[in-house]
């Protein structure tokens, strides 16, 4: 065992103890975060506008600070972007994480000197926790790759901006610099396909031990590696044993990845976003039986939760962690030391454990299908597909689902656009398997099938790399961009049917 791996184990033990200290005192930890946030923002414009000086409790906060999304918070953010100080948080942000997805174009998410370290520490602690839990540390001697956006930053009114993954690239600890790949020059390539080709060339003969990124884009990297080497990735990289991912559920990709790698490898799931680093997998690394990521309660983020069925009512009830239940779908609401207040990030979560507090990401509040009142969410379609594939050699590269409200004949249905690696011998039979799994999970969907409002779902095959072509057509190929699992309209479907 190398000196580096021994040091990593010692450091991991220290971080584990610190994590346990707050994880075993969750309510006190969140209360302290809440009080610190209110105190530090009391003299900001937002704090004065919402009378932070009078806030003594969460109940006060909920009365005085309404839930907002980006567009609703935008009047304040626009002032920050113009360079004004003490608007949402004291002083000015260090960076803006630039994201897309709103009706009015780019979003500028502030990163402050208080919030930026929490992104770095959470990613580091996820790996250290894995080392402590498994005792595996040899990978620190090999090469690690993090597929991410370009680290080239722009500047807006004296504040640097870029993709979060590109900003984070500037904060890689010195002890990882020699191990980290790709090179700075390759990482700066903007065109994703050109970048992946360059990464393949650069890493092909290296001792890769850790690979990280959004599964759909890592899959593209693995396929190019296999094409170049003529053998599975696990044979090209004999010491590759840890895959770190976030952004989407890994399960629909797992069978394809195991085929590309040629063997099973450990994985760590993360829940990062421009608005904050919310959770990471802290146990059960060798199995897929128990799901859940440890909710980071000590990272400058105060969490609230609203039941999804209540979210669009006039005054939905807001819950703290002290009040949440297991297996209930909640909209995640955050207040942060970057100046986001009662902010709806758009993700929905479910708690899988309350001791410690662990969550899974169940979908997006705007990504669902409820064309007939069924309110199907991302977790349900992913689990249904996974159940239908169990015990078969069927493998799926990517998929999305949309409603077909006005078919040329017959009843309406849900249309599943699937890019197969291994196509089912009997597509109708496979569709029924998915449909039955959906009906078990969603009683409203089952009622619609039984009541003959909907018919069994229909599968439409997508050609090889079809989803990559779609993402490229909308300027979102690679990086941190993700394909929506669900749409309540046919904007994506139209790309494949027109």
pLDDT tens sequence across 226-279: 999 999 999 999 999 999 998 777 877 888 899 999 999 999 999 999 999 999
* Paired tokens of 117: 């370290």
Average pLDDT over residues 193-202: 92
Residues 6+ apart with CB under 8 A from 427: 459, 461
Question: How far is it, in rounded angstroms, from Cα 317 to Cα 34?
Answer: 18
The pTM score is 0.84
3-state secondary structure of 403: strand
Q: What are the structure tokens assigned to 84, written together?
A: 């004004």
pLDDT average, residue stretch 345-354: 93
Per domain, the residue ranges of the chain are: 378-497
Fold designation for 378-497: GMP Synthetase; Chain A, domain 3 (3.30.300)
pLDDT at 102 over 60: no
Residue 148, SS3 per DSSP: coil
Average pLDDT over residues 63-76: 95
Please report the beta strands in 308-370, taking only residues with DSSP state E, as ranges in sequence order: 330-336, 343-354, 357-364
267, 250 in Cβ contact below 8 A? yes
How much is the average pLDDT of 191-205?
A: 92
- The conformation of residue 471, written as its DSSP 8-state character, comes to H
**Res 458 pLDDT > 90:** yes
Average pLDDT estimate for 382-400 = 92
Classified as helix, coil or strand, 278 is strand
Tens of pLDDT, residues 134-189 = 999 999 999 999 888 888 999 989 899 988 888 988 887 777 778 889 998 999 99
- pLDDT one-digit tens code per residue, 9-35: 999 999 999 999 999 999 999 999 999
Peptide linkage before 281 cis (omega within 30 of 0):
no
Cα Rg for the chain, rounded, in angstroms? Answer: 23
For the chain, give the number of residues.
498
Question: What integer is the mean pLDDT of 87-91?
Answer: 97
Mean pLDDT over the full length of the chain: 91
Give, in degrees to the nearest 5, the angle at Cα 124 between 257 and 13.
110
∠ CA 286-292-297, rounded to 5°: 125
pLDDT beyond 60 at 287:
no
pLDDT category at 90 given cuts 50, 70, 90 is very high
Specify the pLDDT at position 288.
54
Q: Which residues contact 443 (CB under 8 A, 6 or more apart)?
A: none
At a CB cut-off of 8 Å and minimum separation 6, what does 323 contact?
Answer: none
63 vs 79: CA distance, rounded Å = 25
Using CA atoms, how far residue 406 sits from 246, 369, 458, 486, in Å, is: 36, 15, 14, 18
Whole-number Å distance between alpha carbons of 279 and 307: 19
Q: Is the pLDDT of residue 104 over 50?
A: no
The 10s digit of each residue's pLDDT in 118-136 is 999 999 999 999 999 999 9
Q: Give the per-residue pLDDT at 398.
A: 92
């Amino acid at each position: 065992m190398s000196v580096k791996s021994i040091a990593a184990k010692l450091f991991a033990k220290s971080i584990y103890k610190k994590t346990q200290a707050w994880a075993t005192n969750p309510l006190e930890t969140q209360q302290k975060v809440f009080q610190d946030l209110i105190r530090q923002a009391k003299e900001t414009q937002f704090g004065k506008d919402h009378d932070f000086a009078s806030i003594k409790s969460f109940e006060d906060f909920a009365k005085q600070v309404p839930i907002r999304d980006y567009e609703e918070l935008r009047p304040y953010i626009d002032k920050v972007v113009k360079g004004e100080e003490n608007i949402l948080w004291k002083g000015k942000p260090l960076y803006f994480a630039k994201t897309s997805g709103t009706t009015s174009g780019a979003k500028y998410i502030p990163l402050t000197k208080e919030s930026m370290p929490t992104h770095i520490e959470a990613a580091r602690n996820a790996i250290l926790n894995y080392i402590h839990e498994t005792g595996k540390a040899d990978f620190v001697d090999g090469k690690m790759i993090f597929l991410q956006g370009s680290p080239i930053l722009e500047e807006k009114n004296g504040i640097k901006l870029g993709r979060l993954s590109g900003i984070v690239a500037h904060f890689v600890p010195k002890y990882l610099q020699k191990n980290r790949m790709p090179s700075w020059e390759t990482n700066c390539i903007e065109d994703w396909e050109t970048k992946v080709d360059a990464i393949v060339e650069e890493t092909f003969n290296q001792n890769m031990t850790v690979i990280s990124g959004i599964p759909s884009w890592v899959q593209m990297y693995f396929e190019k590696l296999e094409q170049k080497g003529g053998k599975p990735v696990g044979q090209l990289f004999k010491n590759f044993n840890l895959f770190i991912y976030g952004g989407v559920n890994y399960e629909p990709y797992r069978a394809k990845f195991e085929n590309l790698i040629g063997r099973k490898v450990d994985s760590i799931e993360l829940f990062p976003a421009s608005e904050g680093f919310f959770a990471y997998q802290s146990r059960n690394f060798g199995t897929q039986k128990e799901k859940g990521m440890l909710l980071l309660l000590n990272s400058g983020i105060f969490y609230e939760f609203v039941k999804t069925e209540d979210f669009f009512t006039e005054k939905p009830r807001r819950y703290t962690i002290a009040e949440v239940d297991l297996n209930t779908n909640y909209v995640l609401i955050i207040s942060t030391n970057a100046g986001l207040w009662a902010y709806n990030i758009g993700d929905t979560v479910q708690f899988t454990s309350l001791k410690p507090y662990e969550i899974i990401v169940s979908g997006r509040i705007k990504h669902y299908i409820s064309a007939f009142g069924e309110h199907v969410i991302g977790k349900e379609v992913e689990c249904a597909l996974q159940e239908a594939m169990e015990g078969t050699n069927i493998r799926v590269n990517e998929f999305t689902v949309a409603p077909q409200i006005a078919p040329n004949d017959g009843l309406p249905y849900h249309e599943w656009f699937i890019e197969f690696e291994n196509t089912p011998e009997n597509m109708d039979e496979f569709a029924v398997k998915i449909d039955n799994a959906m009906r078990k999970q969603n009683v409203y969907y089952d009622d619609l099938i039984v009541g003959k409002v909907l018919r069994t779902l229909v599968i439409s095959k997508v050609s090889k790399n079809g989803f990559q072509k779609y993402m490229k057509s909308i300027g979102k190929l690679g990086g941190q961009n993700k394909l929506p699992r669900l749409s309540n309209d046919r904007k994506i479907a139209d790309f494949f049917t027109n």
